[in-house]
Amino acid sequence: MVRTPASSARIKSAPARKKKVVRWNGAPGLKGQRREAILRSVGSVLRNSRLSSLTIQDIASELGMTKGNLYYYFKDKQDILYQCHMRCMELSLRALQEAMANDGAPSEKLRILLIGHIHGILDDGFGSILQTDLESFWPDQRKRYIRKRDDLERGVRSLIEAGVLLGEFECDNVKLAGFSILGAINWIPKWYHPSGPFSSDQIAEEMTDYFLRGLQRHDGVARKAPRERSSSKNGTNNYHRMLAT
């Protein structure tokens, strides 16, 4: 685990809470805020040092706190990982809602969903968490997570199907297409690095373009314009290294 001396945002000690404030034992409130901060920092640790060998110690020292102190905020390690998974998934589900709210063609909705999904994964640093297994989750944790994940998958598939029904898309196997798209996205954190050649914007836009292109019906009818990119942040012509092999 790479020690990043400057990156740690060293959280101030949480003052003892005021009494009298109505609060269920949950998210907001001082302790809850602290929890969120810790989770964010896990994202941060994962960001600039990819790996599955993430130790409690790493998280603690990123925050300038002690190993044991983490156990005041979380039951155990898998709880932390689980929360990260959920945060990440909720970002994606928000993108799904946003997509569904839009009144455009299925392709437009799907575009919104996928771009939001990718940004959620890359920009909040929780992306790398996707590599970890669900094995270690408690049954009800896994169940809760799976449910949300299935919502997302179903959302993608239903948009593809809608496009097929409207004649906008053409797709032999909706389920496999969905797996392809989501798998490709889940894999991004394996190679993405913030200081790498691709911005998360570019990745989101261009990969989504590719995914959608594979769905468009290919009889030449009703093809949409190549669609205007927002700010021409396309990475210049990338014809570096083209060995004909």
Partner DNA sequence: TTTCAATTTGAACCGGGATTAAAAAACTTT
Partner DNA sequence: AAAGTTTTTTAATCCCGGTTCAAATTGAAA
**Is residue 134 a contact point for DNA (CB under 7 A)?**
no
227's torsion region: left (phi>0), alpha (psi -120 to 50) or beta?
A: left
Contact 60, 67 (CB under 8 A): yes
- Alpha carbon 74 to its chain centroid, in Å, reads 22
Within positions 63 to 122, which residues make up the interface with DNA, using CB under 7 A?
65-69, 71-72, 75-78
Query: Half-sphere exposure (CA, 13 Å, Cβ side) for 182?
Result: 20
**Is residue 57 a contact point for DNA (CB under 7 A)?**
yes
Q: From CA 72, how far away is CA 77, in angstroms rounded? A: 12
Which residue from 5, 10, 13, 197 is in contact with DNA, where contact means CB under 7 A? Answer: 13
User: Which x/- pattern, by CB under 8 A, does the window 99-128 give for its own copies?
Assistant: -x----------------------------
**Is residue 183 a contact point for its own copies (CB under 8 A)?**
yes
Rounded to a whole number of angstroms, the minimum distance from the CB of residue 128 to DNA is: 15
Judged by CB under 7 A, how many residues of this single chain contact DNA? 26
Which residue from 5, 6, 10, 19 is in contact with DNA, where contact means CB under 7 A? Answer: 19
Contact 115, 209 (CB under 8 A): no
Within positions 12 to 51, which residues make up the interface with its own copies, using CB under 8 A?
50-51
Write out the residues near DNA by the rule CB under 7 A.
Answer: 13-19, 30-31, 34, 53-57, 65-69, 71-72, 75-78
